Amino acid sequence: MGKTLFDKIWDKHVVEKIQDGPSVLYIDTHFIHEVTSPQAFKGIENRGVELFRPKQTIATADHNVPTLNQHLPIKDELSRMQVEQLINNCQKHGVELYGLGHPYQGIVHVIGPELGITQPGTTIVCGDSHTSTHGAFGAIAFGIGTSEVEMVFASQCVLQTKPKTMRININGELQKGVVSKDIILYIIAQISASGATGYFVEYAGTTIKALSMEARMTICNMSIEMGARGGMIAPDETTFNYIRGRAFAPKTAVWEEHKQAWKKLYSDADAKFDAEIHINAADIQPMITYGTNPGLGIAINGNIPVVENITDEGEQRNIEKALQYMGLKSGASLIGIPVQHVFIGSCTNSRIEDLREVAALVKGKKKHDQIKVMIVPGSQQVAKQVHAEGLDRIFAEAGFQIRQAGCSACLGMNEDKIPAGEYCISTSNRNFEGRQGAGARTLLASPLTAAAAAITGVVTDVREMM
Amino acid sequence: MKALQKIQSRFVPMPMENIDTDQIIPARFLKATTRDGFGKNLFRDWRYENNDETKPKADFPLNQSQYSGEILVAGKNFGCGSSREHAAWSLLDYGFNAVVSSFFADIFKNNALNNGVLPVTVSDAFLQKIFEQGNDATISIDIAAQTITIDATGNQESFELNPYKKTCLLNGYDDIDFLLSKRDTIAQFEMNLK
Ligand code: SF4
């Protein structure tokens, strides 16, 4: 029987399988950031051992950094100490750090791919659940906890139980105004926030094949929001063209050799998946969430479910509670609801293509008076590109604020927060209670839908502006 | 990690589903660089009015004196969301040694096990039974036997536990010591991987 893409990479990286237990899985690339690494460094020091393969760990500061005045010392003392500790730890243990002020600094899941560190056929982990992003390159990439960060420090391995595999096939052409963020929000709304728990997902089909690398990353990024361990896409010419020439991509002399090996990374025609789902791209509309988990999403022109019609009692309670938090009504449409904030950023949608899409839509227009718009590029390199392409002028004319690279209002760890009770259309990946600040109300959507609301001041079907 | 063999305790019920790690420990408390002291911020925004420690929300189970114990019982899909191990540290630091639910998110489950907090997956019906018990009902969890029992009624279910993880829990063994002992094998493996 043939093998899945996942199996091909997994099997190659198993050092050994513990009897009746997990496998010792070898990790090629380990990303770390300031929030989930300090306790792991401390753990290793307490054991009195050195990092086993420090050159295979790459660090950046992203979660807890300010996105204004990054050249000044960080004001918040705890944040500053955490970032300083990362600097010290990296120096002490010989780990490469792209910290504040470095031209490569940025959100860990944006910089890995843009530097060409993320490569097909590899295993990649990071103490961050959205590590699934890197799967877009045909890698096994998943988030780990701090104890596991310590495992990688100690041995370049983690103990993992092999997950089940699921393939999600998406075929056909997307409607106008529908982008990759809508695809993944649609899938999660279909199968729920726990629908893929225990699985590693492969996305396949003609719709996926036609997407750019950045669009593919947006999809793999949110795999975790349906509970999946990770998501992946078989590499193809789009992948190879994206990687070629990047700072850490294989050099010209060995490029062909790598490419030939990568070309073998696909699920065999007779490979069996534990679950398989089929989706017709034409069914997908621009999406928006109304609740407090990413599975509570609807087509922008649809209605919030009528609570009384939900048969599952637990689900009914959930949605009731979510609507209460969100200040929204059962059965209502979201179109026309006033929004106070637009956040365009995060490891889901802060890459140059996202910002180009936004710029193309808002060019020559002005934001609505009542709305604050924050654009947070995913990395210093994206910010530089925004400038080089003159997108910053379009944003400035529209009245959008451009900030510096970091996670920012995606998780509200730094001062970029949404005030209690106010609505924010956000291009990030989580709408949990308080995620963007205590009491903040998050509506997840694509960069296009977010940009449309920035102009009109209310939830808008972007297709009416195209 | 300390060894964990049996837990017999009262429980704190939280029947909500999809309790995510941002609720267990909000991001703004992740600035610490040690593993201690997270318990006081466990469920912070559900626990206090306007983030004010002097104003506990009366209807939140952790603030209700009729509930106590080492066991948290929660609705399905507990621990979804971020990979922050701080969620497991917060539960442990607060005093929970086990969480019972009908469904756990993957990363949380691993993190909990790696810190000696036992995730016990039970059927929906069994979970319902627990929620129906009175305030002073106790639950017994036997790790060696892999059983969970409602003491008053004698209702019992067995739960799954990876045999490797079970050995670790029962003896307080640590994955990292195990992996450190494998360094030579791993170095050998690297030679063949290239
Ligand atoms: S942008 Fe948001 S989701 Fe992505 S790594 Fe940062 S905090 Fe996590």
Per DSSP, the residues of A27-71 read: -SEEEE-TTTSHHHHHHHHHHT---S-GGGEEEE--TT--SS-TT
- Under a CB-based contact definition with an 8 Å cutoff, are residues A12 and B145 in contact? no
A148, amino acid identity: E
Ligand 1 centroid to A109 CA: how many Å?
Answer: 8
B77: tokens are 């899909």
Ligand 1 mutation pick, A109, A142, A374, max ligand atoms within 8 A of CB: A109
Q: Does B22 lie at the interface with A, CB-CB under 8 angstroms?
A: yes
Contact A229 B106 (CB under 8 A): yes
Closest CA to A322 of B58, B50, B16, B101: B16
Closest CA to A170 of A277, A32, A300, A10: A277
A267, amino acid identity: S
Q: Does the pLDDT value for residue A20 go beyond 90? A: no
d(CA A133, CA A30): 14
B141: tokens are 């969890």
For residue A463, the number of C-alpha atoms closer than 13 Å in the C-beta half-sphere is 13
For chain B, the helix, strand and coil percentages under 3-state DSSP, each to the nearest 5: 40, 20, 45
d(CA A124, CA A256): 23
The per-residue pLDDT for A240 is: 98
B178: tokens are 């195990």
d(CA A147, CA B111): 7
Q: Does the pLDDT value for residue A243 go beyond 90? A: yes
Which residues in chain A have Cβ-Cβ distances shorter than 8 Å to B77? 193-194, 197, 227
Per-residue pLDDT of chain B (194 residues; tens, 9 = 90+): 788 999 999 999 999 999 999 999 999 999 999 999 999 999 999 999 988 999 999 999 999 999 999 999 999 999 999 999 999 999 999 999 999 999 999 999 999 999 999 999 999 999 999 999 998 899 999 999 999 999 999 999 999 999 999 999 999 888 999 999 999 999 999 999 87
Query: What was the ipTM of the complex prediction?
Result: 0.92
- DSSP string computed for A419-436: PTT-EEEESSS---TTTT
Q: How far does the CA of residue B132 sit from the closest CA of chain A (Å)?
A: 15
Handedness of CA B21, B25, B27, B33 (dihedral sign): negative
Kindly state if the Cβ of A429 falls inside 6 Å of ligand 1.
yes
d(CA B28, CA A63): 10
DSSP secondary structure code for residue A205 in this structure: S
Per residue, the 3-state secondary structure of A318-378, as one string, reads HHHHHHHHHCCCCCCECCCCECCEEEECCCCCCCHHHHHHHHHHHCCCCCCCCCEEEECCC
Geometric angle at alpha carbon B76, from B74 and B80, rounded to 5°: 95
Interstrand relation of A401-402 and A372-375 (parallel, antiparallel or unpaired): parallel
Q: Does the pLDDT value for residue A117 go beyond 80? A: yes
Nearest 5°: phi and psi at B12?
-110, 120
pLDDT tens sequence across A129-175: 999 999 999 999 999 999 999 999 999 999 999 999 999 999 999 99
For chain A, the average pLDDT equals 97
Q: Which residues pair with A210 in a beta bridge?
A: none
Contact A16 B20 (CB under 8 A): no
Ligand 1 mutation pick, A343, A344, A428, A436, max ligand atoms within 8 A of CB: A428
Kindly state if the Cβ of A410 falls inside 6 Å of ligand 1.
yes
- Under a CB-based contact definition with an 8 Å cutoff, are residues A159 and A23 in contact? yes
Interface of B with A in 131-160 (CB under 8 A): none
Closest residue in chain B to residue A420, using alpha carbons only: B50
B120: tokens are 């016990």
Picking from B35, B85, B115, B146 by the largest number of A CB atoms within 10 A of its own CB, the best residue to mutate is: B85
Among A66-80, A212-226, A385-399, which stretch is predicted with the lowest mean pLDDT? A66-80
Considering only CA atoms, give the Rg of chain B.
18
d(CA A184, CA A217): 11
d(CA A367, CA A397): 9
Q: Does the pLDDT value for residue A12 go beyond 90? A: yes
Q: Does the pLDDT value for residue A426 go beyond 90? A: yes
The per-residue pLDDT for B174 is: 86
d(CA B105, CA B78): 6
Contact B32 A78 (CB under 8 A): yes
The per-residue pLDDT for A448 is: 98
Ligand 1 centroid to A305 CA: how many Å?
Answer: 29
The per-residue pLDDT for A412 is: 87
The per-residue pLDDT for A314 is: 86
A166: tokens are 């699921």
Q: Does the pLDDT value for residue A423 go beyond 90? A: yes
For residue B26, the number of C-alpha atoms closer than 13 Å in the C-beta half-sphere is 23
Considering only CA atoms, give the Rg of chain A.
21
Ligand 1 centroid to A431 CA: how many Å?
Answer: 12
* Atom of ligand 1 minimally distant from the CA of A430: 3
In angstroms, the Cα distances linking A227 to A108, A120, B86, B98, B105 are: 21, 23, 19, 21, 6
Q: Does B40 lie at the interface with A, CB-CB under 8 angstroms?
A: no
**Out of B35, B106, B186, closest to residue A26 by CB:** B186
* Atom of ligand 1 minimally distant from the CA of A378: 1
Q: Which residues pair with A341 in a beta bridge?
A: A372, A424
- Under a CB-based contact definition with an 8 Å cutoff, are residues B82 and B23 in contact? no
Q: What percent of chain A has pLDDT over 70?
A: 100
pTM of structure: 0.95
Q: Which residues of A81-109 are buried (b: 16+ CB within 10 A; e: fewer)?
A: bbbbbbeebbeebebebbbbeeebbbbbb
* Atom of ligand 1 minimally distant from the CA of A346: 1
Residue with tokens 């695809």: A183
Ligand 1 centroid to A378 CA: how many Å?
Answer: 10
Q: Does the pLDDT value for residue A204 go beyond 90? A: yes
* Atom of ligand 1 minimally distant from the CA of A33: 5
Confidence category of residue A383, pLDDT binned at 50, 70, 90 = very high
Q: Which residues pair with A32 in a beta bridge?
A: A59
Question: A401, exposed or middle or buried, with CB in 10 Å at 0-12, 13-18, 19+?
Answer: middle
Contact A157 B186 (CB under 8 A): yes
